[in-house]
Homo-oligomer: A and B are copies of this chain.
């Protein structure tokens, strides 16, 4: 039995001791930690205290617990999938996104009509309750098992000026970009990256382990005169994926375009 007594609550001392043991390499990644009973004996505390300590380490994403088997050290591996958020244009005029080929569609895309919320309306420079075409996709990368949720929103206003989008909503993003280009637009994109804990349904859909945030990418396609045309959202587990961008210095200082 190892005596412990530094800061704060008992369970925090136990958690700190285990954390230290993991980070110092005493317990290798993927290896099995002592069972709850063994930890009770090792530190001379009750089971709730051990479980409380384990819960804290779980919330930190340091360990993973499997019912009936035990607690395992989670490998702190970097994300394996890098989403290159670039858009290229092939000589034949087609748009190409670097990663688009790794994705399968795990389900049939669902196409629907909806209205702007306060948040989506602001991004599209529209009011609230404006009509939109929506298309949701569940993407899956078969090789790594990674999943992602993708959504495309096209305002009626825009679809009216680009008939191909109204006639066949739910096209893939590169196809949407091509239709907009055919309609005379010169495109650029703004994208914001947020992170947050998943809602229960997102956790289930994306099959996320404990203590795993999601990356939430929001892309707005801008056309001629910087008009906001299309809104896309991509949600993906942050344990698997990272987003990558390229930046070049703009010649003039701080010219204001809308977000």
Q: Which residues of A contact B (CB under 8 A)?
A: 19, 55, 59-61, 78-79, 82, 85-91, 95-96, 98, 119, 187-200, 211, 213-215, 219, 238-239, 242-254, 259
Contact = CB atoms under 8 A, between A and B. Distances in A.
Given A190-B246, A197-B59, A249-B187, A78 B213 contact: no
Contacts of A244: 190-193, 259
Contacts of A85: 245, 247
B78 A238 contact: no
Contact of A87 (B79, B82, B215, B247): B247
A59 B60 CA distance: 10
* Count of identical protomers in the assembly: 2
A253 B60 contact: no
Contact of A192 (B82, B90, B190, B252): B82
20 contacts: A55-B55, A59-B59, A60-B198, A61-B196, A78-B119, A78-B194, A85-B245, A87-B249, A87-B250, A88-B250, A91-B252, A95-B249, A187-B249, A188-B246, A190-B247, A192-B244, A193-B245, A194-B242, A196-B238, A213-B238
A82 to B, nearest CB: 7
A208 to B, nearest CB: 12
A26 to B, nearest CB: 18
Contacts of A238: 194-196, 213
Most chain B beta carbons < 10 A, residue from A85, A98, A194: A194
Contacts of A96: 253-254
A259 B82 contact: yes
Contacts of A251: 88-89
